[in-house]
Amino acid sequence: MFRRPLSALAAIAGLCAPLAFAHAAQEELTLYTTREPALVQPLLAAFTAKTQIGVKTVFVKDGLLERVKAEGERSPADVLMTADIGNQLDLVDGGVTQPVRSRALEAAIPAQLRGADGQWFALSMRARVLYAEKDLPLNSFRYEDLADPRWKGKVCIRAGQHPYNTALIAAMIAHDGEARTEQWLRGVKANLARKATGGDRDVARDILGGICDIGLANTYYVGHMKAAREGTDARKWGDAIKVIKPTFAGSKDGGTHVNISGASVARHAPHKDSAVKLLEFLVSEPAQNLYAQANYEHPVRKGVALDPVVARHIGELKVDALPLPEIARYRKQASALVDKVGFDK
Protein backbone atom coordinates (compact mmCIF):
# COMPACT_ATOMS: atom_id res chain seq x y z
CA MET A 1 0.00 0.00 0.00
CA PHE A 2 1.17 3.54 -0.76
CA ARG A 3 2.42 5.88 1.89
CA ARG A 4 3.34 9.51 1.68
CA PRO A 5 7.02 10.31 2.22
CA LEU A 6 8.02 10.24 5.86
CA SER A 7 8.61 14.00 5.78
CA ALA A 8 5.01 14.55 4.73
CA LEU A 9 3.67 12.24 7.41
CA ALA A 10 5.82 14.01 9.95
CA ALA A 11 4.36 17.34 8.86
CA ILE A 12 0.85 15.97 9.28
CA ALA A 13 1.72 14.53 12.67
CA GLY A 14 3.10 17.94 13.60
CA LEU A 15 -0.44 19.28 13.45
CA CYS A 16 -1.24 16.98 16.35
CA ALA A 17 1.29 18.35 18.88
CA PRO A 18 1.97 17.78 21.66
CA LEU A 19 2.96 14.20 20.87
CA ALA A 20 4.73 13.30 24.11
CA PHE A 21 1.87 11.03 25.01
CA ALA A 22 3.64 7.86 26.14
CA HIS A 23 4.39 9.14 29.61
CA ALA A 24 1.46 11.55 29.83
CA ALA A 25 -1.31 9.11 28.96
CA GLN A 26 -3.53 8.24 31.91
CA GLU A 27 -4.73 5.04 30.22
CA GLU A 28 -3.62 2.92 27.30
CA LEU A 29 -5.85 0.95 24.95
CA THR A 30 -4.71 -1.62 22.41
CA LEU A 31 -5.43 -1.41 18.70
CA TYR A 32 -5.06 -4.48 16.50
CA THR A 33 -4.83 -3.33 12.88
CA THR A 34 -4.25 -4.83 9.45
CA ARG A 35 -3.45 -1.34 8.16
CA GLU A 36 0.18 -0.27 8.12
CA PRO A 37 0.77 1.59 11.42
CA ALA A 38 2.32 4.62 9.69
CA LEU A 39 -1.01 5.30 7.97
CA VAL A 40 -2.90 5.70 11.24
CA GLN A 41 -0.19 6.96 13.60
CA PRO A 42 -0.90 10.68 13.02
CA LEU A 43 -4.54 10.04 13.92
CA LEU A 44 -3.64 8.10 17.06
CA ALA A 45 -1.21 10.79 18.14
CA ALA A 46 -3.92 13.42 17.76
CA PHE A 47 -6.33 11.26 19.78
CA THR A 48 -3.85 10.90 22.62
CA ALA A 49 -3.05 14.61 22.62
CA LYS A 50 -6.76 15.35 22.92
CA THR A 51 -7.79 12.69 25.46
CA GLN A 52 -4.60 11.66 27.27
CA ILE A 53 -5.48 8.07 26.36
CA GLY A 54 -2.52 6.22 24.90
CA VAL A 55 -2.82 3.75 22.04
CA LYS A 56 -0.64 0.66 21.69
CA THR A 57 -0.67 -0.42 18.05
CA VAL A 58 -0.28 -4.09 17.12
CA PHE A 59 0.12 -4.68 13.38
CA VAL A 60 -1.44 -8.01 12.36
CA LYS A 61 -0.84 -8.47 8.65
CA ASP A 62 -2.63 -11.83 8.40
CA GLY A 63 -4.81 -13.98 10.63
CA LEU A 64 -6.40 -11.23 12.74
CA LEU A 65 -9.59 -13.20 13.38
CA GLU A 66 -7.67 -16.35 14.28
CA ARG A 67 -5.42 -14.45 16.69
CA VAL A 68 -8.26 -12.77 18.56
CA LYS A 69 -10.19 -16.03 18.75
CA ALA A 70 -7.17 -17.85 20.15
CA GLU A 71 -6.65 -15.16 22.80
CA GLY A 72 -10.28 -15.41 23.87
CA GLU A 73 -11.30 -13.52 27.01
CA ARG A 74 -7.63 -12.77 27.75
CA SER A 75 -7.22 -10.76 24.55
CA PRO A 76 -5.78 -7.28 25.18
CA ALA A 77 -7.40 -5.96 22.00
CA ASP A 78 -9.78 -3.03 22.46
CA VAL A 79 -10.25 -1.98 18.82
CA LEU A 80 -9.99 -4.11 15.66
CA MET A 81 -9.22 -2.20 12.45
CA THR A 82 -9.08 -3.49 8.88
CA ALA A 83 -8.71 -2.10 5.34
CA ASP A 84 -11.54 -4.06 3.70
CA ILE A 85 -15.24 -4.53 4.41
CA GLY A 86 -14.96 -8.28 3.90
CA ASN A 87 -12.30 -8.62 6.57
CA GLN A 88 -14.27 -6.36 8.91
CA LEU A 89 -17.39 -8.46 8.54
CA ASP A 90 -15.36 -11.64 9.04
CA LEU A 91 -14.54 -10.31 12.50
CA VAL A 92 -18.22 -9.70 13.20
CA ASP A 93 -19.26 -13.10 11.89
CA GLY A 94 -16.43 -14.69 13.86
CA GLY A 95 -17.89 -13.40 17.11
CA VAL A 96 -14.94 -11.27 18.21
CA THR A 97 -16.69 -7.87 18.16
CA GLN A 98 -19.42 -6.27 20.27
CA PRO A 99 -22.26 -3.85 19.51
CA VAL A 100 -21.79 -0.16 20.20
CA ARG A 101 -24.43 2.54 20.43
CA SER A 102 -23.07 6.01 19.87
CA ARG A 103 -24.90 9.11 18.66
CA ALA A 104 -21.61 10.57 17.46
CA LEU A 105 -20.85 7.55 15.27
CA GLU A 106 -24.37 7.27 13.93
CA ALA A 107 -24.53 10.97 13.10
CA ALA A 108 -21.18 11.02 11.30
CA ILE A 109 -21.38 7.77 9.31
CA PRO A 110 -24.05 7.13 6.65
CA ALA A 111 -26.25 4.13 7.39
CA GLN A 112 -24.93 2.01 4.50
CA LEU A 113 -21.38 2.46 5.85
CA ARG A 114 -21.93 1.00 9.33
CA GLY A 115 -23.49 -2.07 10.84
CA ALA A 116 -27.15 -1.73 11.79
CA ASP A 117 -26.33 -3.41 15.09
CA GLY A 118 -23.29 -1.21 15.81
CA GLN A 119 -20.77 -4.03 15.33
CA TRP A 120 -18.63 -2.20 12.75
CA PHE A 121 -18.07 1.33 11.44
CA ALA A 122 -16.47 2.68 8.27
CA LEU A 123 -13.75 5.26 8.91
CA SER A 124 -12.63 6.14 5.37
CA MET A 125 -13.55 5.24 1.79
CA ARG A 126 -11.88 4.38 -1.47
CA ALA A 127 -13.79 3.84 -4.71
CA ARG A 128 -13.17 1.27 -7.46
CA VAL A 129 -12.92 3.55 -10.47
CA LEU A 130 -11.91 3.49 -14.11
CA TYR A 131 -8.43 4.59 -15.11
CA ALA A 132 -8.54 5.68 -18.75
CA GLU A 133 -5.88 6.95 -21.15
CA LYS A 134 -5.96 10.70 -20.65
CA ASP A 135 -6.87 11.58 -24.25
CA LEU A 136 -9.51 8.88 -24.67
CA PRO A 137 -12.88 10.48 -25.65
CA LEU A 138 -14.69 8.91 -22.70
CA ASN A 139 -16.55 10.82 -20.01
CA SER A 140 -18.91 8.25 -18.45
CA PHE A 141 -18.80 4.52 -17.87
CA ARG A 142 -20.77 1.65 -16.40
CA TYR A 143 -19.05 -1.30 -14.74
CA GLU A 144 -20.96 -3.55 -17.13
CA ASP A 145 -19.22 -1.80 -20.06
CA LEU A 146 -15.95 -3.57 -19.22
CA ALA A 147 -17.37 -6.61 -21.01
CA ASP A 148 -18.29 -4.68 -24.17
CA PRO A 149 -16.40 -6.16 -27.18
CA ARG A 150 -15.29 -2.65 -28.16
CA TRP A 151 -12.71 -2.96 -25.37
CA LYS A 152 -11.26 -6.29 -26.56
CA GLY A 153 -7.54 -6.37 -25.81
CA LYS A 154 -7.72 -2.99 -24.08
CA VAL A 155 -8.47 -3.75 -20.42
CA CYS A 156 -5.96 -4.11 -17.56
CA ILE A 157 -6.84 -5.23 -14.04
CA ARG A 158 -5.25 -6.96 -11.07
CA ALA A 159 -6.19 -10.52 -10.06
CA GLY A 160 -9.88 -11.27 -9.76
CA GLN A 161 -9.28 -12.99 -6.44
CA HIS A 162 -7.85 -9.85 -4.88
CA PRO A 163 -10.27 -8.54 -2.20
CA TYR A 164 -10.69 -5.24 -4.09
CA ASN A 165 -12.04 -7.12 -7.10
CA THR A 166 -14.02 -9.83 -5.32
CA ALA A 167 -15.83 -7.01 -3.50
CA LEU A 168 -16.72 -5.41 -6.84
CA ILE A 169 -17.82 -8.73 -8.34
CA ALA A 170 -19.96 -9.30 -5.24
CA ALA A 171 -21.56 -5.91 -5.89
CA MET A 172 -22.25 -6.97 -9.47
CA ILE A 173 -24.01 -10.11 -8.19
CA ALA A 174 -26.07 -8.00 -5.80
CA HIS A 175 -27.12 -5.69 -8.64
CA ASP A 176 -27.38 -8.02 -11.63
CA GLY A 177 -27.62 -11.58 -10.30
CA GLU A 178 -25.10 -14.41 -10.44
CA ALA A 179 -25.86 -15.61 -13.99
CA ARG A 180 -25.44 -12.17 -15.56
CA THR A 181 -22.34 -11.52 -13.47
CA GLU A 182 -20.75 -14.75 -14.73
CA GLN A 183 -21.47 -13.67 -18.30
CA TRP A 184 -19.99 -10.24 -17.54
CA LEU A 185 -16.88 -11.74 -15.97
CA ARG A 186 -16.30 -13.91 -19.03
CA GLY A 187 -16.64 -10.81 -21.20
CA VAL A 188 -14.12 -8.87 -19.11
CA LYS A 189 -11.66 -11.77 -19.31
CA ALA A 190 -12.06 -11.82 -23.11
CA ASN A 191 -11.20 -8.10 -23.17
CA LEU A 192 -8.01 -8.35 -21.10
CA ALA A 193 -4.87 -6.93 -22.68
CA ARG A 194 -2.73 -9.05 -20.37
CA LYS A 195 -3.15 -11.55 -17.56
CA ALA A 196 -5.08 -10.26 -14.56
CA THR A 197 -2.18 -9.65 -12.22
CA GLY A 198 -0.02 -6.99 -10.56
CA GLY A 199 -1.34 -4.08 -8.56
CA ASP A 200 -3.54 -1.05 -9.13
CA ARG A 201 -0.58 1.18 -10.00
CA ASP A 202 0.32 -1.26 -12.76
CA VAL A 203 -2.93 -0.39 -14.52
CA ALA A 204 -1.73 3.21 -14.92
CA ARG A 205 1.77 2.03 -15.82
CA ASP A 206 0.44 -0.21 -18.59
CA ILE A 207 -1.86 2.50 -19.92
CA LEU A 208 1.21 4.73 -20.25
CA GLY A 209 3.04 1.85 -21.94
CA GLY A 210 0.27 1.41 -24.51
CA ILE A 211 -0.61 -2.10 -23.32
CA CYS A 212 -4.19 -1.15 -22.49
CA ASP A 213 -6.54 1.83 -22.69
CA ILE A 214 -8.64 1.36 -19.55
CA GLY A 215 -8.65 -0.54 -16.26
CA LEU A 216 -10.10 -0.68 -12.76
CA ALA A 217 -8.21 0.51 -9.70
CA ASN A 218 -8.72 2.31 -6.38
CA THR A 219 -8.98 6.07 -6.00
CA TYR A 220 -6.26 6.69 -3.43
CA TYR A 221 -3.55 5.41 -5.78
CA VAL A 222 -4.45 8.30 -8.09
CA GLY A 223 -3.61 10.79 -5.36
CA HIS A 224 -0.26 9.18 -4.66
CA MET A 225 0.71 9.06 -8.33
CA LYS A 226 -0.44 12.53 -9.33
CA ALA A 227 1.17 14.08 -6.24
CA ALA A 228 4.48 12.30 -6.79
CA ARG A 229 7.61 14.25 -7.70
CA GLU A 230 7.97 15.40 -11.29
CA GLY A 231 10.03 12.95 -13.34
CA THR A 232 9.38 9.91 -11.15
CA ASP A 233 7.77 6.81 -12.61
CA ALA A 234 4.76 7.22 -10.34
CA ARG A 235 4.16 10.77 -11.59
CA LYS A 236 4.46 9.66 -15.22
CA TRP A 237 1.89 6.93 -14.61
CA GLY A 238 -0.45 9.36 -12.89
CA ASP A 239 -0.12 11.94 -15.65
CA ALA A 240 -1.02 9.30 -18.26
CA ILE A 241 -4.53 8.69 -16.94
CA LYS A 242 -7.82 10.35 -16.16
CA VAL A 243 -10.39 9.03 -13.69
CA ILE A 244 -14.01 8.16 -14.42
CA LYS A 245 -16.37 7.12 -11.63
CA PRO A 246 -18.40 4.18 -13.00
CA THR A 247 -21.97 3.31 -12.05
CA PHE A 248 -24.05 0.13 -12.23
CA ALA A 249 -26.41 -0.22 -15.17
CA GLY A 250 -29.18 -1.61 -13.01
CA SER A 251 -28.92 0.98 -10.24
CA LYS A 252 -31.44 3.79 -10.07
CA ASP A 253 -29.20 5.75 -7.70
CA GLY A 254 -26.19 5.93 -10.01
CA GLY A 255 -23.59 5.39 -7.29
CA THR A 256 -20.01 4.15 -7.51
CA HIS A 257 -18.74 1.03 -5.72
CA VAL A 258 -16.70 1.80 -2.61
CA ASN A 259 -14.70 -0.18 -0.11
CA ILE A 260 -13.67 1.02 3.31
CA SER A 261 -11.23 1.00 6.13
CA GLY A 262 -13.22 0.29 9.25
CA ALA A 263 -13.11 -0.71 12.89
CA SER A 264 -15.00 -2.53 15.62
CA VAL A 265 -14.80 -2.67 19.39
CA ALA A 266 -13.39 -6.05 20.42
CA ARG A 267 -15.74 -8.41 22.22
CA HIS A 268 -13.55 -8.63 25.34
CA ALA A 269 -12.16 -5.08 25.18
CA PRO A 270 -10.54 -4.28 28.57
CA HIS A 271 -11.13 -0.56 27.93
CA LYS A 272 -14.46 -0.43 26.13
CA ASP A 273 -15.29 3.19 26.98
CA SER A 274 -11.93 4.37 25.69
CA ALA A 275 -12.31 2.20 22.60
CA VAL A 276 -15.61 3.92 21.80
CA LYS A 277 -13.96 7.30 22.35
CA LEU A 278 -11.29 6.38 19.81
CA LEU A 279 -13.87 5.43 17.18
CA GLU A 280 -15.79 8.64 17.84
CA PHE A 281 -12.60 10.65 17.47
CA LEU A 282 -11.71 8.91 14.19
CA VAL A 283 -14.95 10.17 12.60
CA SER A 284 -14.61 13.68 14.03
CA GLU A 285 -13.85 16.50 11.62
CA PRO A 286 -10.16 16.90 12.58
CA ALA A 287 -9.49 13.18 12.25
CA GLN A 288 -11.36 12.91 8.97
CA ASN A 289 -9.23 15.74 7.64
CA LEU A 290 -6.15 13.76 8.58
CA TYR A 291 -7.49 10.69 6.77
CA ALA A 292 -7.85 12.80 3.63
CA GLN A 293 -4.34 14.26 3.96
CA ALA A 294 -2.43 11.15 5.00
CA ASN A 295 -3.55 8.66 2.37
CA TYR A 296 -5.71 10.46 -0.22
CA GLU A 297 -8.83 8.67 1.03
CA HIS A 298 -12.39 9.95 0.97
CA PRO A 299 -13.77 10.84 4.41
CA VAL A 300 -16.98 9.18 5.54
CA ARG A 301 -18.08 12.36 7.31
CA LYS A 302 -19.88 14.83 5.08
CA GLY A 303 -18.51 18.33 4.82
CA VAL A 304 -14.85 17.38 5.25
CA ALA A 305 -12.60 18.78 2.54
CA LEU A 306 -10.86 16.36 0.20
CA ASP A 307 -7.13 16.53 -0.37
CA PRO A 308 -6.62 19.08 -3.19
CA VAL A 309 -5.17 16.44 -5.52
CA VAL A 310 -8.17 14.17 -4.94
CA ALA A 311 -10.59 17.08 -5.31
CA ARG A 312 -9.06 18.06 -8.65
CA HIS A 313 -8.74 14.64 -10.25
CA ILE A 314 -11.55 12.61 -8.63
CA GLY A 315 -13.95 14.82 -6.72
CA GLU A 316 -16.70 13.84 -4.31
CA LEU A 317 -18.09 10.33 -4.37
CA LYS A 318 -21.69 9.37 -4.88
CA VAL A 319 -21.69 6.05 -3.06
CA ASP A 320 -23.62 3.07 -4.38
CA ALA A 321 -26.74 2.91 -2.23
CA LEU A 322 -26.52 -0.84 -1.59
CA PRO A 323 -25.47 -1.43 2.05
CA LEU A 324 -21.99 -2.94 2.25
CA PRO A 325 -23.20 -6.01 4.18
CA GLU A 326 -25.62 -6.74 1.33
CA ILE A 327 -22.66 -6.69 -1.07
CA ALA A 328 -20.34 -8.64 1.22
CA ARG A 329 -22.77 -11.54 1.57
CA TYR A 330 -21.95 -12.49 -2.04
CA ARG A 331 -18.17 -12.64 -1.54
CA LYS A 332 -18.00 -16.44 -1.65
CA GLN A 333 -20.05 -16.59 -4.84
CA ALA A 334 -17.81 -13.90 -6.35
CA SER A 335 -14.67 -15.85 -5.53
CA ALA A 336 -16.19 -19.02 -6.93
CA LEU A 337 -17.07 -17.25 -10.19
CA VAL A 338 -13.50 -15.99 -10.59
CA ASP A 339 -12.28 -19.61 -10.46
CA LYS A 340 -15.15 -20.91 -12.60
CA VAL A 341 -14.33 -18.65 -15.54
CA GLY A 342 -10.56 -19.01 -15.06
CA PHE A 343 -10.24 -15.25 -14.75
CA ASP A 344 -6.75 -15.28 -13.24
CA LYS A 345 -5.29 -17.97 -15.52
- The CA distance from 48 to 52, in Å, is 5
**Domain residue ranges of the chain, discontinuous segments joined by +:** 6-125+259-305, 127-255+319-340
Fold match, 6-125+259-305 / 127-255+319-340: yes
- The CA distance from 337 to 166, in Å, is 9
CATH 3.10.180.10 for domain 127-255+319-340, yes or no, is: no
Specify the pTM: 0.86
- Residue 23 belongs to what H/E stretch? none
Q: Span 6-125+259-305: which CATH code?
A: 3.40.190.10
Tell me the pLDDT of the chain (345 aa) as tens digits. Answer: 444 544 444 444 444 443 333 445 579 999 999 988 888 898 999 999 999 999 999 999 999 999 999 999 999 999 999 988 889 999 999 999 999 999 999 999 998 899 999 999 999 999 999 999 999 999 999 999 999 999 999 999 999 999 899 999 999 999 999 999 999 999 999 999 999 999 999 999 999 999 999 999 999 999 999 999 999 999 999 999 999 999 999 777 789 999 999 999 999 999 999 999 999 999 999 999 988 887 899 999 999 999 999 999 999 999 998 888 889 889 999 999 999 999 999
Is residue 199 exposed (0-12), middle (13-18) or buried (19+ Cβ within 10 Å)? middle
Pick from 340, 342, 345, 335: nearest CA to 162: 335
Contact call for residues 337 and 182 (beta carbons, < 8 A): yes
* Dihedral sign, Cα of residue 285, residue 289, residue 290, residue 295: positive
Residue type, 150: R
- Ranges assigned E (strand) in 99-240: 121-133, 155-156, 214-218
SS3 state of residue 138: coil
